Amino acid sequence: MDGAIPLDQPHTSRIYDYFLGGKDNYEVDRVAAEEILVAWPDIRTAARVNRQFMHRSTRFMAEAGIRQFLDIGTGIPTEPNLHQIAQEATPDAHVVYVDNDPLVLAHARALMTGGALGATTYIHGDVTDPKGILSDPELTGIIDLSRPVGVSMIALLHFVEADIAEIVATFLDALAPGSYLAICTITADFAPEQVVAAQDVYRVRRLPAQVRTRDEVASWFTRLDLVEPGVVPPHRWGLIETTEISPAYDAKVSCYCAVGRKP
């Protein structure tokens, strides 16, 4: 893959970094982000709640005994990163990060600072090429695919217009029983007007964007044992870190998440 950073074109990772209050974004990203904020004024809340789900789902998988993690659509480093959560629970956790943004690649060194007992590495790759990711020597160097892996695709799949069921199936085929899949992705089920308007801003800028229904997200987990409470908005999954839970808050966040275990 080409490693050049195109500065005349916004990128999803840098727009997200802007929403989270980061500094790793360019003028072109900030202009797009401000336009998205007009369409969906609560998207910063969505980004924050999504990130909190990453923390909880990673902790959950680590506490369930997972020692190997594959985080696809990693994003620009934002502390705590996934390996820091996983290695807090299990210091020997091995973590492979994957992203298709050259800027994330440029920051990869910062991601590879795992504890002495663990290991982290980075693949500049695309989720639409599961076989390429699974056979990459960086992955096979620290992940043993005959043992369970926790695969995270958090705030990634709404940037992928390809057939997600097929992508998920390819990963699941390669994973050992006892592996987990954690997903969080944007839906227009709760606030169709604002979310579709935001999707349009991405698409006009030639960034792939695709909202999904609850049934679509559930269909990706049919081969898995769904962890309670199933497919829900991320602030309703696991330990509740927000006090405000109402249909209005579901609309603010406008995401579905789920965690499933391969039997």
Ligand X SMILES: C[S@@+](CC[C@H](N)C(=O)[O-])C[C@H]1O[C@@H](n2cnc3c(N)ncnc32)[C@H](O)[C@@H]1O
The sheet that has 225-226: what strands, in order across it? 119-124, 94-99, 68-72, 150-154, 180-186, 255-261, 225-226
Residues 22-61 that bind ligand X (CB under 6 A): 50-51, 54
* Candidate list 88, 126, 200, 216; residue touching ligand X; CB under 6 A: 126
- Cβ 181 to ligand X, closest distance in Å? 14
12 binds ligand X per the rule CB under 6 A: yes
Among positions 127, 182, 183, 224, the unique one binding ligand X when judged by CB under 6 A: 127
Give the three-class secondary structure for 30: helix
| Residue 20 CB, nearest approach to ligand X (Å) | 7
* Residue 216 to residues 33, 188, 243, Cα–Cα distance (Å): 27, 12, 28
Joined together, the tokens standing for residue 82 give: 């996934």
Show the binding pattern over residues 158-187: x = contacts ligand X (CB under 6 A), - = does not. Answer: -xx---------------------------
Restricted to residues 194-253, the positions that interact with ligand X (CB under 6 A) are: none
Residue 194 CB, nearest approach to ligand X (Å): 17
Q: What is the crossing angle of helices 82-89 and 43-63, to 10°?
A: 30
- Binds ligand X (CB under 6 A): choice among 10, 73, 77, 260: 73
